[in-house]
Structures are given as structure tokens and as C-alpha cells.
Homo-oligomer: A and B are copies of this chain.
């Protein structure tokens, strides 16, 4: 049996923060002991301040926790998950790392720093080695580890098995769900029955983060994957589940069957397959023409499986398909917890 580790959540009241609370409350290795939120919630019970938005009730153990303020590093557990807004994450996460905490962050602030791992355990588990460089460079008693932007995490899981074919170019159009913008998020008057063809900063994240995530560890650093990515990101009136329409150029020009087989057989490197949050299959492929659909498929593998459909030839780049994933789980809280599990088995949490 695995030893129990106390953990906390920074920014526990938002959509992703709630997803952390839900999943950590039932986690076999982690004990949720501490929650923080903005100043106006400080000192109150979680259940009295959170606008809980899930059919299942607030986990009782979490509901009774007293909220710490945003900068209260004193009594927090060593391991903290961060669902902070990027606006505050940059400084707050550094402060916690400096104070000795391992911050497993969903925020974008530190993702592209050369000595911060940008992890998806099935794709690049070896990148945890950046933590050694981070310790040397920063001399923090703690650490910062990040996961990708939500669209990127979903897209890159579908791209990872294609690296063996020589992944050269990716063209992706996303149709992103409302949960990705949280609450208040997108005003309902602006999105009901509409498509908004722009999400601030999102395209650059997809284009840059993908190269780091798919990159290879060479000595103490990650060398970006040479793939060129072009992203167009849009918001659609879907509650949860990001859809990505993808075309790829693969140097080896594999057949549809070979691509499908590479995706279906993908399990990821290293110890990931045995981790508690790892789904039975990171990728599943549909044969039905009209799948995947967010309303039907986002929850596959408890939100950790990315589903792919419509794999077929692309007259321009060679191969195209549609990928879908749960942006609050595979794209946020779920992948962060999987990252923590990887760090745990590597002995990097203690």
C-alpha cells in the first residue's frame, strides 16, 4: 500500500479548483487537507463559499475545511495543486515554492520556463528530470511542475503516438467548451447559439507548448520537437469537452490503419500505466463517422481518455482526424493529479 500524502489546493473555488477537490477527495494516495481561495473567502468553510456546480455533493471532508487566504503559506501541506488564475499564479506559485512547497500547477505562468517541467505523463515522463535543473538554478526548497493548456493537453495526447511516423506539421481548429473559461467566463448573451472565433492567448499556447511537450530531454534540458503547429481556436456553446479538428503531415506517410493502430496501442512511456489516475486507454478510436462528440464522449475513462474519430486521408497534409477530451480533467485537474502521481513514484514529492 502506498503511503498517504497530505495535499492542498490553491484556488479551490473555481471550475478547475472544484474539479481538484472532487478528484482528490477520493484519491487513494493523497489526503485533501487544505484549501485556499481569494481574500473574501478566507476563514470561511469551503461549503459556505463555493458555488458548487456538480451533480454529486461536495465531498464532506472538503466541505468542512476552512479556507486559507491567497498568500497563507504557513500551514499548507508540502504538496499543493494550483488552480490559480494566471494573473496571480506567477508570483504566488514562486512564493510557495520558495517556502518549500511542491506546486503542481495548472496555470500557464511558468509552463515555458526552461527549467520547469511541462508534463503529460503518457507523453514525456522523463521531463521530470528538469526538476534537478530547477533546483540548481532556483535553490528553492520546493518546486514548480506544470501541465499544458487544456486544448494542448488533449491535442498532444493524440499527436504523441504519431511521433514515430515523423511528425512535421499540425493544423488544428478547436471548438472549445464553456467550462474552459470558468465562471463568470463567457457571458451567456454572447455565446448562446453562436461561435466566437477567438480565445485570447490560446493559439500561441497550443503552438508553443506542443513543441516543448513533444520535445526530448537532452542532458539537463528539453529540446523542442521540430513540429510546426498552426492553431485556430474558437469558443462554442458546449458545456464541457474540447473538440479539435486536426490535419497532420507525417514524414513516413503511414496508412489510416497504421495511424489508427498507433493511437489505439498507445499506452505511454514509463510507469504511467500503473498510476491511479491513468485511464485504461489514454486514446480510443471510433469507427462511427459521427464521433467523437463532447456530449457523449468527454467523460470516457473518467475524463482522462481522449477519443479520436474520422481518421482519414487529408488531400493537403496527408492525414486528418477529430480528437476530443475533457478539458477540466484531461486538460486540467486530472492531468495535474496524474503528474503528482508520477512525481510520487519517482520520490520527488517528499
Residues on A close to B: CB < 8 A? 15, 53-55, 169-171, 173, 175, 178-179, 181-198, 200, 207, 228-230, 232, 234, 236-239, 243, 245, 247, 249, 289-300, 309-310, 314-317, 320, 322
Contacts and interface: CB of A to CB of B under 8 A. Distances in A.
Contacts of A190: 53, 183, 188, 295
A173 B236 CA distance: 14
B196 A193 contact: no
24 contacts: A54-B296, A171-B171, A171-B247, A171-B317, A173-B232, A173-B245, A175-B195, A175-B236, A178-B188, A186-B187, A188-B188, A188-B192, A190-B295, A194-B238, A194-B295, A196-B293, A197-B245, A197-B291, A198-B290, A198-B310, A200-B289, A229-B316, A230-B317, A230-B320
Closest 9 CB pairs of A and B: A194-B295, A173-B173, A188-B188, A230-B316, A197-B322, A198-B290, A184-B187, A178-B189, A198-B289
A314 B243 CA distance: 20
Contacts of A54: 296
A329 B239 CA distance: 22
Nearest to A323: B197
A230 B247 contact: yes
A203 B334 CA distance: 35
Q: Which of A239, A245, A298 is most buried by chain B, counting CB atoms within 10 A of its CB? A: A245
A308 to B, nearest CB: 10
A336 B307 CA distance: 34
A144 B230 CA distance: 42
A320 B247 CA distance: 15
A200 B322 CA distance: 15
Given A198-B289, A207-B315, A189 B322 contact: no
A127 B139 CA distance: 72
Contacts of A289: 198, 200
A188 B182 CA distance: 9
